[in-house]
């Protein structure tokens, strides 16, 4: 049986990590193809509900030129003290936006996000960029596909 080796991190590890991520965002982060067009044409109210901290979300949106689509409709697990797959973040965002959970659709790229949406009694669509879909239900691989999927789901909400 292997013993788990304890690793001690520097006291400023998180600060160094976040600074490095911010640097990488600034120099390399790009929006997915088609996302700006899709957001500009989307006829639904939308927000971001992320496990990341608000400053990281704002930085990512600024670097990618997408900030103006979201304004202050940003919700973070750090604010509610619960992380996906816990549904608390999605439930908080829905309440703040004035929607019942069953009238919301969550767009996610992670399995824990899909699990959180299900636990919150929300519909979900999974974004699997650059992957063949193999007829997977409720999945899409390019942002241009999202409006049609949302229109289909909105008929059942």
Q: How would residue 1 be classed by pLDDT, with cut points 50, 70 and 90?
A: low
Q: Which domains does the chain have, with CATH numbers?
A: 32-154 (3.40.50.1000)
Q: Positive or negative, the Cα torsion across 32, 139, 38, 43?
A: negative
pLDDT tens string 16-63: 999 999 999 999 999 999 999 999 999 999 999 999 999 999 999 999
Structure tokens at 1: 């049986």
pTM > 0.95: yes or no: no
DSSP string, 2-68: PPPPP-PPPTTHHHHHHHHHHHHHHHH--PPTTHHHHHHH--S---EEESS-HHHHHHHHHHHT-HH
């Amino acid at each position: 049986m292997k013993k788990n080796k304890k690793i001690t991190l520097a006291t400023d590890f998180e600060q160094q990590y976040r600074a490095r991520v911010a640097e990488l965002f600034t120099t390399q982060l790009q929006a997915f193809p088609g996302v700006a067009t899709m957001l500009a044409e989307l006829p639904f109210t939308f927000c971001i509900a992320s496990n990341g901290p608000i400053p990281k979300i704002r930085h990512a949106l600024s670097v990618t030129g997408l900030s103006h689509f979201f304004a202050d409709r940003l919700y973070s697990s750090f604010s509610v003290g619960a992380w996906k797959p816990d549904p608390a973040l999605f439930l908080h965002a829905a309440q703040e936006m004035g929607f019942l959970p069953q009238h919301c659709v969550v767009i996610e790229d992670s399995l824990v996000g899909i699990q959180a949406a299900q636990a919150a009694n929300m519909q979900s669509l999974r974004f699997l960029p650059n992957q063949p879909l193999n007829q997977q239900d409720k999945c899409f691989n390019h942002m241009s596909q999202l409006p049609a999927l949302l229109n289909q789901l909105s008929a059942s909400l």
